[in-house]
């Protein structure tokens, strides 16, 4: 082999191979694109091109199913007999959702409360969320005056399918009431305080309809059981849900 041919072969062997570099660059670009899509907050259950999944992470479904994703928010105002309610929630990530509520009974009994929800089951068509709330039960009527701290444990189960989501709520609510007794005596009024426990089991069966991803209607039956084993009258409600703008 001539010295010239040997020199050419050595030069070709020492030169870099452009093909692997191009492949590595393409892989890096693909990884960057994937990371960007994940970091942008794209929702897991939603395929923009599939009408069957369009509303799975909408604000109406978030509120009745509980546990909004990070940055998602929803507010509902509902009216019915005998309960009325305003509820708001905001997702902070990892299935955690702080929430605020104000409910009333015929505008005579009020309970403001704050709480935290955690989404336990998060599948496209099944959601299970646990919630805990702390509040204050306050009632002031000519027949009865009551007030005291209140706590509630609640489960939310929803089944989103296309534009509708049937849901079920089960809750137990406990209130510590402080009673004041005043006895008039010759030396003056004798005032004493005593505490008692009030218990309400609570249930709801309902259906939410997503008009858009940001607006929905909620209709349901309320099943309170006040001071078991006494009998309570069921009620019903209609609500409007809005949220999700600004994402």
Structural domain span for residue 216? 59-243
The tens digit of pLDDT for each residue in 55-73 reads: 898 999 999 999 888 889 9
Residue showing tokens 């505008």 = 107
H helix runs in the chain, sequence order: 3-14, 18-39, 59-65
pTM of the model: 0.76
Supply angle C-alpha 36, 42, 47, rounded to 5: 125
Is residue 237 located within the same domain as residue 133?
yes
Please give the Cα distance from 138 to 242 (Å, whole number).
Answer: 28
Q: Look at the chain and count its residues.
A: 247
pLDDT tens string, the chain, 247 residues long: the values are: 555 454 544 455 455 555 444 444 444 444 433 333 333 344 567 776 677 788 898 999 999 999 888 889 999 999 999 889 999 999 998 889 999 999 998 888 899 999 999 999 999 899 999 999 999 998 876 656 778 899 999 999 999 999 999 999 999 999 998 777 777 777 777 777 777 888 999 999 999 999 999 999 999 999 988 877 777 889 999 999 999 886 6
- Asked if the structure places residue 200 within a domain, the reply is yes
Domain with residue 162: its CATH number is 2.40.128
- Asked if the structure places residue 24 within a domain, the reply is yes
Can you list the pairs that 9-12 forms with residues at least 24 positions away whose Cβ atoms lie under 8 Å? none
């Amino acid at each position: 082999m001539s010295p010239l041919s040997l020199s050419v072969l050595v030069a070709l062997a020492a030169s870099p191979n452009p093909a692997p570099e191009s492949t590595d660059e393409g892989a890096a670009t693909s990884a960057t694109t994937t990371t960007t899509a994940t970091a942008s907050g794209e929702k897991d259950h939603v395929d923009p091109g599939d009408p069957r999944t369009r509303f799975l992470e909408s604000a109406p479904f978030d509120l009745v199913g509980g546990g909004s994703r990070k940055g998602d928010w929803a507010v509902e105002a509902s009216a019915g007999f005998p309960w009325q309610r305003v509820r708001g929630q905001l997702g902070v990530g990892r299935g955690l959702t702080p929430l605020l509520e104000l409910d009333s009974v015929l505008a005579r009994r009020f309970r403001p409360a704050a709480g935290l929800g955690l989404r336990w089951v998060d599948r496209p068509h099944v959601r299970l969320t646990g919630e805990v709330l702390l509040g204050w039960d306050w009632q002031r009527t000519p027949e009865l005056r009551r007030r005291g701290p209140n706590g509630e444990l609640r489960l939310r189960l929803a089944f989103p399918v296309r534009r509708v989501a049937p849901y079920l709520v089960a809750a137990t609510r406990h209130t510590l009431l402080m009673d004041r007794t005043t006895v008039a005596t010759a030396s003056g009024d004798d005032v004493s305080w005593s505490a008692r426990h009030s218990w309400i089991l609570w249930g709801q069966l309902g259906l939410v309809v997503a008009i858009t991803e940001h607006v929905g209607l909620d209709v349901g039956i309320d099943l309170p059981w006040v001071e078991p084993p006494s009998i309570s009258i069921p009620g019903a409600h209609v609500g409007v849900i809005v949220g999700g703008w600004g994402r």
